[in-house]
Amino acid sequence: MEEIESEMGEVAGGPDADAHAHGPVEAAVRQILVDIGEDPDREGLTATPARVHRMYLELTAGYKVDPERLINGAVFDVDYSEMVVVKSIPFHSLCEHHLLPFFGTAAVAYIPRGRVIGLSKIPRIVEMYARRLQVQERLTQEVADFLQEQLAPEGVGVVVEATHLCAVMRGIRKPGTIMTTSAVLGIFRSNDKTRAEFFSHLQRPAPGSP
């Protein structure tokens, strides 16, 4: 999303990308094309190295994020102590093992201790960590740890479900495989009832869904 990229200080295809139009990334992509038996100078491939460079700048923009700028002061003192759940957050990331995409949805919950974060910031936090080379387990834990650090809530719960193209297009080649990971901190870990409440929220259909 362009808004997220702007907040991260990285807009793919901007002046910085043009400055490196003939840099080492482009040279490496050309060499890959040669090694797989292609001609990097044929019409359809001449701009591919530059396109690949711009793509990776966009997909890994999370490395350049300033977390304070991302949150932008949207943490508020509110007398509320019940569970807050934001679910069905879409994301796309890159598997660090094969540089192939994995994508799905995330659900994030926390129980405030007098401080809440603006609703729009939670999807942006997911996006910040997704736009890095990742494994799903670490992505899940990083989102949970960040919220715990920023809000000091009673606890945090995060569940991520994703399809990995490294399992669909290569290797075991099993379309439809879904990986689920979770991270629970604080009362979500220590209290079975709280954890069960979180998971029950995930099973409820969204308003207006069939």
Kindly list the catalytic residues.
95-98, 136, 164, 166
Tell me the helix, strand and coil percentages in the chain, rounded to 5. Answer: 45, 25, 30
Separation between Cα atoms, residue 25 and residue 126, nearest integer Å? 27
Bridge-based pairing state of the strands 84-95 and 133-134: parallel
Crossing angle (nearest 10°) for helices 121-130 and 136-151: 140
Picking from 200, 198, 178, the residue whose alpha carbon sits closest to that of residue 188 is 198
- Residue 176 CB partners (closer than 8 Å, separation 6+): 163
Separation between Cα atoms, residue 22 and residue 210, nearest integer Å? 50
